[in-house]
């Protein structure tokens, strides 16, 4: 007898339906799984047999063949344990199940040796797939309840063990998932330990970070060791707006596929801050590998990617950032596959101005020759620098700045301006697009310059040797500065400030 159970898998981040066909017949006791399953799927045979036995179910002594269709597509993950087990139990007629449940529900979950259902990857993808294909719902482990509850419009059936699954298959009854979800804690947007108020001086860097947050722009901080580059970069998280519901679903989906969710953090509710080390491999940062996996640039989606000591990263990794910085996605092509991952992030990068790091400091502290300084900074190619909107130089604080008590803004006050600027952009574009993603058509419509500003821009192009891309990015930054000031038009002071963040290119 052949039993068909619905499940799901994913390639890259795109989900697809998998039909688990289970055939039970007389013959030698052989258990085969076919259909291009990975090692985790092939090893499921032992988990399933032991889990069924310890749950009080007898395993049929004969030939069991499991086929995962479509058979020509690679499938990964332990979540096929549950649909295979359901197929075997129903094929053996261990209980009277309802056919309509197998036809209308997807099953995903890992089986433990005692028959309990364990947390597994890709649950959000499976729930989205069930909704998109018109299925009534999905059966998932109890430990995946919170991420499963993100998807509305379908039944989310939570099971702790195989006995719970049997009860649902025989009666069709299940408890609303809301019963299993604890009341969410109130979101705290500003971490008191990462408040801009704690940072003395460095007003230009603070202002640059505000502009980055307001329009989604990229920033490069070049400065002396110990001047506060890393400290400031971490504090941008305290001024970014909170995630919208659609963004939470998108991020939770990505982190579920990557296996980054846990019982402690089952849903991504805060914007990610990813800071890979410069010794990280290209696959770890960009993504790819034998099976397509997410890299740091995709895990930083809707958040911040911080590259400290950016000049120390391998050159090929930095050059691979061109497409993500421009297109907000990364296309990875290998011999056996081609996938696209989202990577809409703000890139904050930092580095020293030279090998010893003291080039900007007065008093002849730098021991590097001019050729050594030039060689050090040449590690950042022109195309990469062109894609960075703001560049600032930083030095150590002097005695007055360190010991003084000049007025400083709290992150909550800066965040209000950022949120207001983003609301202006949302109303302008009628979408969640930010100024950093404006097209040439958008610039002609929303970043018009008056005659005086055109003269200023003409001189800047000539003196700074700006490319067409750099010209566009200055206009985008100027538009964000105007939005932060709640100005309808780009005024001269907005343009001059935007140009000042490109002066270091000279």
- Which residues in 132-265 belong to E strands, given as ranges? 137-141, 155-159, 219-223
Q: H-type helices in 194-243, by residue range?
A: 203-215, 229-234
Q: Does residue 488 have a pLDDT over 80?
A: yes
Check residue 164 and give its pLDDT. 96
Check residue 191 and give its pLDDT. 61
pLDDT, one tens digit per residue, over 291-310 is 889 999 999 999 999 999 99
User: Does one domain contain both 226 and 327?
Assistant: yes
pLDDT, one tens digit per residue, over 166-224 is 999 999 999 988 888 875 554 444 566 789 998 888 899 999 999 999 999 999 999 99
The reported pTM is 0.90
Check residue 506 and give its pLDDT. 43
Asked if residue 431 is part of any domain, the answer here is: no
Q: Does residue 431 have a pLDDT over 50?
A: yes
User: Does one domain contain both 33 and 149?
Assistant: yes
User: Does one domain contain both 17 and 52?
Assistant: yes
* Residues sharing a CB contact under 8 Å with residue 371, sequence separation 6 or more, in sequence order: none
User: Does one domain contain both 296 and 215?
Assistant: yes
* Residues sharing a CB contact under 8 Å with residue 145, sequence separation 6 or more, in sequence order: 156, 158, 177, 180, 181, 266
Check residue 183 and give its pLDDT. 57
Check residue 398 and give its pLDDT. 84
User: Does one domain contain both 170 and 214?
Assistant: no
The per-residue pLDDT of the chain, averaged, comes to 92
Asked if residue 187 is part of any domain, the answer here is: no
Distance CA 443, CA 86 (A): 57
Q: Are strands 390-394 and 155-159 parallel, antiparallel or unpaired?
A: unpaired
Check residue 188 and give its pLDDT. 46
Q: Does residue 500 have a pLDDT over 60?
A: yes
Count of structural domains within the chain: 3
* Tokens encoding 162: 């195989």
User: Does one domain contain both 232 and 345?
Assistant: yes
User: Does one domain contain both 365 and 445?
Assistant: no
Domain boundary among 138, 156, 180: 180
Asked if residue 342 is part of any domain, the answer here is: yes
Contact 346, 234 (CB under 8 A): no
pLDDT, one tens digit per residue, over 135-152 is 999 999 999 999 999 999
User: Does one domain contain both 296 and 340?
Assistant: yes
Q: Does residue 315 have a pLDDT over 60?
A: yes
Check residue 192 and give its pLDDT. 63
Check residue 399 and give its pLDDT. 83
CA-angle at 359, arms to 353 and 365, nearest 5°: 145
pLDDT, one tens digit per residue, over 86-129 is 999 999 999 999 999 999 999 999 999 999 999 999 999 999 99
Check residue 337 and give its pLDDT. 84
Q: Does residue 384 have a pLDDT over 80?
A: yes
User: Does one domain contain both 255 and 377?
Assistant: yes
Q: Which residue has the tokens 């990015």?
A: 473
Q: Does residue 321 have a pLDDT over 70?
A: yes
Contact 126, 108 (CB under 8 A): yes
* Range of the structural domain that residue 372 is part of: 192-425
Q: Which residue has the tokens 């110990």?
A: 226
Asked if residue 433 is part of any domain, the answer here is: no
Q: Does residue 453 have a pLDDT over 60?
A: yes
* Tokens encoding 98: 């309802």
- What is the chain's Cα-based Rg? 28
Check residue 200 and give its pLDDT. 87
Q: What are the helix and strand counts (H, E) for the chain?
A: 22, 18
Distance CA 448, CA 475 (A): 9
Domain CATH number, residue 123: 3.30.230.10
φ, ψ for residue 403, nearest 5 deg: -95, -15
**Least confident among 52-56, 371-375, 421-425:** 371-375
Asked if residue 252 is part of any domain, the answer here is: yes
User: Does one domain contain both 108 and 138?
Assistant: yes
**Least confident among 64-68, 182-186, 365-369:** 182-186
User: Does one domain contain both 406 and 452?
Assistant: no
User: Does one domain contain both 249 and 119?
Assistant: no
344: Cα separation from own chain's centroid: 8
Domain CATH number, residue 211: 3.40.50.300
298: Cα separation from own chain's centroid: 4
Check residue 60 and give its pLDDT. 86
Q: Summarize the confidence of residues 45-74 as an average pLDDT.
A: 94
Here the contacts of 498-501 (C-beta below 8 Å, separation 24 or greater) are 498/474, 499/456, 499/457, 499/460, 499/464, 499/474, 501/208, 501/211, 501/389, 501/390, 501/391, 501/392, 501/477
Domain boundary among 425, 447, 464: 425
Distances (CA, A) of 440 to 23, 357, 443: 59, 38, 5
Check residue 407 and give its pLDDT. 82
Domain CATH number, residue 482: 1.10.8
Contact 115, 161 (CB under 8 A): yes
Asked if residue 96 is part of any domain, the answer here is: yes
Asked if residue 216 is part of any domain, the answer here is: yes
Check residue 184 and give its pLDDT. 53
- Residues of the chain with pLDDT > 90, as a percent, come to 80
Q: How many residues does the chain have?
A: 506
Distance CA 310, CA 373 (A): 15
């Amino acid at each position: 007898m052949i039993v068909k159970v619905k499940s799901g898998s994913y390639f890259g981040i795109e989900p697809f339906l998998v039909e688990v066909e289970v055939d039970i017949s007389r013959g030698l006791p052989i258990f085969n799984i076919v259909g291009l399953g990975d090692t985790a799927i092939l090893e499921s045979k032992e988990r399933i047999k032991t889990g069924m036995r310890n749950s009080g179910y007898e395993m049929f002594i004969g030939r069991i063949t499991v086929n995962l269709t479509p058979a020509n597509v690679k499938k990964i993950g332990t979540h096929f344990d549950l649909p295979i087990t359901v197929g075997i139990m129903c094929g053996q007629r261990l209980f009277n199940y309802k056919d309509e449940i197998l036809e209308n529900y997807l099953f995903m979950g890992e089986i433990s040796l005692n028959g309990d259902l364990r947390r597994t990857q890709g649950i959000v993808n499976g729930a989205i797939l069930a909704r998109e294909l018109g299925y009534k719902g999905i059966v998932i482990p109890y430990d995946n309840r919170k991420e499963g509850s993100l998807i509305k419009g379908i039944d989310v059936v939570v099971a702790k063990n195989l006995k719970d699954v049997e009860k649902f298959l025989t009666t069709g009854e299940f408890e609303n998932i809301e019963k299993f979800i604890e009341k969410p804690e109130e979101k705290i947007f500003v971490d008191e330990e990462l408040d801009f108020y704690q940072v003395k001086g460095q007003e230009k860097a603070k202002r640059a970070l505000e502009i980055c947050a307001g329009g989604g722009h990229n920033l490069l901080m070049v400065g002396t060791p110990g001047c506060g580059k890393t400290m400031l970069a971490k504090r941008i998280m305290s001024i970014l707006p909170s995630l919208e519901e659609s963004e939470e679903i998108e991020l939770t989906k990505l982190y579920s596929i990557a296996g980054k969710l846990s019982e402690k953090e089952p849903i991504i509710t805060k914007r990610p801050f990813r800071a890979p080390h410069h010794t990280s491999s290209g696959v770890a940062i960009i993504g790819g590998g034998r099976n397509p996996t997410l890299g740091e640039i995709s895990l930083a989606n809707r958040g911040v990617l911080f590259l400290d000591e950016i000049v120390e990263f391998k050159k090929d990794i930095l050059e691979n950032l061109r497409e993500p910085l421009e297109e907000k996605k990364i296309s990875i092509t290998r011999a056996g596959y081609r996938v696209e991952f989202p990577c809409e992030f703000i890139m904050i990068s930092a580095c020293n101005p030279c090998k010893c790091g003291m080039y900007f400091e007065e008093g002849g502290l730098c021991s590097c020759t001019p050729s050594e300084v030039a060689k050090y900074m040449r590690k950042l190619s022109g195309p990469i620098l062109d894609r960075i909107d703001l560049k600032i130089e930083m030095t150590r604080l002097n005695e007055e700045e360190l010991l003084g008590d000049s007025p400083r803004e709290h992150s909550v006050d800066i965040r209000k301006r950022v949120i207001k600027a983003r609301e202006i952009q949302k109303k302008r574009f009628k979408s969640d697009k930010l100024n950093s993603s404006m097209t040439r058509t958008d610039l002609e419509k929303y970043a018009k310059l008056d005659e005086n500003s055109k003269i200023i821009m003409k001189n800047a192009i000539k003196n700074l040797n700006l490319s067409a891309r750099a010209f566009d990015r200055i206009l985008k930054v100027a538009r964000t500065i105007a939005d932060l000031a709640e100005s309808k038009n780009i005024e001269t002071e907005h343009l001059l400030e935007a140009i000042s963040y490109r002066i270091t290119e000279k």
